[in-house]
Structures are given as structure tokens and as C-alpha cells.
Amino acid sequence: MRKIKFLLWGFLGILTFFWVIAATWPETFSLLSTRSVMINFTGVLGVGAMSFTIILALRPVWLESWLDGLDKSYRLHKWLGITALVMSVMHWLSGNAPKWATSLGLLERPERGPRPDESALPTLQQWFNTQRDTAEFIGEWTFYVIVLLIALALIKRFPYRLFTKTHTLLAAAYLAIVFHSVMLMEYNYWQQIVGVVSGLLMAAGTIAAALILMGRIGRNRKVAGTIEHIDLFPELSIMETSIRLDDGWRGHQGGQFAFVTFDSKEGAHPFTIGSGWTPKDPCINFITKGLGDYTNLMIKNLKVGDKVTVEGPYGRFIFSDGKKRQIWIGGGIGITPFIARMKQIAHKPEDHAIDLFHAIPFEDPKAIQKLTADAKTANVQLHMLVDGRDDRLTGEQLRTEIPDWKEASVWFCGPAKFGESLKKDLIANGLKDRDFHQELFNMR
């Protein structure tokens, strides 16, 4: 999270600095005199944040190493989107509030001076000026569309299948905003660094938006496959699906995830991979729990022989921090990346001392038997915590049971608040922040 905040505020801070250098400041400050200043400032930050957001929507793998995974990139994508929304609202208010105040008699209507002679202006600037009315019209109506689409994206109850479709429309709306921004940006900005940076961001964003609209997100990372086996755990509402992949899969590491399309109408959903990888046996497993409408339907509707598409792998929850001592904590379905890692270690043993804590609502003999066998094969010390029988795992309990915990790295996957509580306790007692790794489940 620290890297996400650093990149977010650093990006906005640099754009602000470049704008301050280029800005023209009024001699006296008033609501009317600062109107154009605020319009320009919010416009630069708004289109900049929106451009970065669109670029991140392409799922750039090159950024994963720096941000610690695509799940972190999506969190940055979310906050940049919110920033773009806030800046857009402020931009809209900056343009309209003085007009409303004047119409209500709260401000005196400013006297209009003589229209400047545009004949001496550069030809390109003259053409830009002829497009102002069109650009303002497109910008205002696109603003209403963007507010609606971002609001829908932030409403968790809005169905995921509809979210993915409506979210794609933001790429088209972005192209309209680029036209609006290019035509209305202060002309002198284009000769300064703020204009150069904004132009590069909009150019990259335009390419990204075009790729999104053409359906090319992750296209070179998609592989077809066929469901080969389904194993059900009815008491836990869990299903393990084994998929035999066609040629083209790049291989994966335990702890990564993929976007899987089981139904073209539903679209791709992110699922953590629940198996290791051996090229000789190109199968990949996904362990899913019925937590919503779609995952519940999956358990009922999927069958052996169904065709699927798998896109990936993504993520940096891959246990490669150089620590020989590790502590794993999996809450509920958050056990999946640890199962994959144990299967990977079984194929290629490693010299690690590992303790795995797994919290479950109740004991399911079949699931426990499989997990125990995986742990034994990987030489992992398993600690099962059952609700109603054992106390909830706390930082104090973990520190008591693992005396050398300060020498370990901690890998957590499960409910966010549970992870935050453990992290706060362990860091307060001496664990380094960089040694606590947590995957962010929420992708929107």
C-alpha cells in the first residue's frame, strides 16, 4: 500500500508542479479571477489521472514487479479513477459556479471588453479556437456519462458482468475527453513541460483506449482449455476445477492468479491458481467458493468437457523474498495460493522452514485430508484453527507459537481486516513492514 500511495501522490504532485510553472496568475484573487485558474488546474490533473487509469486497465505486467502485483495495480487504478472523478467534478463546478452565482444576483456580471484580434495568432491556435464550442459541448455531456459509469463501478452490488461491460465504455468516454482537453487546454501550455507531459499521457491513453475497445486486453496471454475434472466440497460450498490447457501457457508460480472465462456472457473473473505447474502435464486448478451469484452458479452449472479461456498468469504473491523462514496465514478460501505453493514445492523441494496457519468455519474431513497431505509432501508445518473450537488467531498468539517470527516473512491471504490487524500487531512488535505480504482480494 505504501508504494501505491507514493506513486499516486508523486504522480499528482509532479503534474501539479509542472502546471504551477506554466500557470498564469491573476493580479487579484476573486471567484471570477480564479475561475480560469481552477479550470486549467483541474483539467490538467483530471485528464492526467484519467490517462494513467486507462493505461493501467491494460494490465501492464511490467508494472507488477514494482507495485508487488496486479492486485496492487488495480488498487492504484481505482484511486486514480476516483481522483479523476473528483477533478472532473471540480472542473465542472469551476466552469459553472460563477455563472450560477451571477444568475442568482450573488455576483455582478463582469463587463466584456473588446474581442481580441485572432488574426495574429498561430494558425493552429486559430483552428483550436474554432473548436471551442464543440469541445465544451462534448466535454460537458461526456462528464455526465463518466460520473455515471464511475459511480456504477464503485457500487459493489452492481453485478460484475454488467460492471465489466459498462466499464469498457469509459474508454470511449476517455477519447471524447482527450478531444475536449486538447482543444481547450491553454495554448501556451503546449510549449512547456506541462503540455508535453499531458500530451504524452493522452497519446498513451488514446492507444490504450483503442486497444481496450478492440478487446485486446491480455490477448497475448490468453489460452483455451477444457474442464477435465471437478471436485466438490458441498459442506464448504467449494469447488476445485481442473483445466487442461492448450499450447501457449507461459507457466506460473504458486500464488499467482488468472482471469478465467467460463461463460462468454459473464466474462472473465479473477481466480487464484490452486496448483503448481509442470509443462509435461499442462493442467491448472482453480479452487472457488460460492460467495456470490456467479460463483454459486458455477458450482451448479459447470461440467466436465466445458470449454474455457484462461488469461495470465498475474500477481507477485509468489513467496520469493529470499527468506528461509516463512509464516503463511490463509483465511477461508485464502488458503488457495498456499495450496499452489505447496504443490510447487512438492515438485521442486526447497530449503525453507514454513508454518501454515489456516482458519476454517468447521472441519471438513475431505478438505482437511487433502490439505494435510499437501503440507506433509511440502514439509510445511500445518496449524488448523476451527471456529468454535480454537481462538481467533492474533498477533500475540502467532508470536508465542513461532519464537523466531522476527526472522520470518509473513504471507497473508484472507479477509482484509483480519490481515490488517495481524500486520499492525506484528509491525508494532518489531516485524519490518516489507516482510508482511498481503494479497488484495478486491479487484474493483
Give me the tens of pLDDT residue by residue for the chain, a chain 444 residues long: 678 999 999 999 999 999 999 988 877 766 667 888 999 999 999 999 999 999 999 999 888 888 888 988 999 999 999 999 999 999 999 988 777 777 777 766 766 656 666 667 788 888 888 899 999 999 999 999 999 998 888 887 777 778 888 889 999 999 999 999 999 999 999 999 999 999 999 999 999 999 999 999 999 999 999 999 999 888 888 899 999 999 999 899 999 999 999 988 888 889 999 999 988 889 999 998 876 767 777 888 899 999 999 999 999 999 988 889 999 999 888 999 999 999 999 988 888 899 999 988 888 888 899 999 999 999 999 999 988 788 889 999 999 999 999 999 999 999 888 999 999 999 999 999 999 999 876 666
Task: Please state which architecture CATH assigns to domain 325-438.
Answer: 3-Layer(aba) Sandwich (3.40)
CATH 1.20.120 segments of the chain:
2-108+119-213
CATH code assigned to 2-108+119-213: 1.20.120
- Count helices and strands (H / E) in the chain: 13, 11
Up-side HSE of residue 121: CA atoms within 13 Å toward CB? 13
283 vs 276: CA distance, rounded Å: 9
* C-alpha cell, 116: 481580441
How does DSSP classify residue 237? Answer: T
Question: Phi and psi (nearest 5°) for 390?
Answer: -115, 155
219-314: which CATH number, 2.40.30.20, 2.60.40.420, 3.40.50.2000, 2.40.30.10? 2.40.30.10
Give, in degrees to the nearest 5, the angle at Cα 398 between 393 and 404: 165
* C-alpha cell, 40: 486549467
CATH 3.40.50.80 segments of the chain:
325-438
Helix or strand or coil: residue 150?
helix
CATH 2.40.30.10 segments of the chain:
219-314
| CA distances from residue 5 to 75, 87, 405 in whole angstroms, order as listed | 10, 18, 28
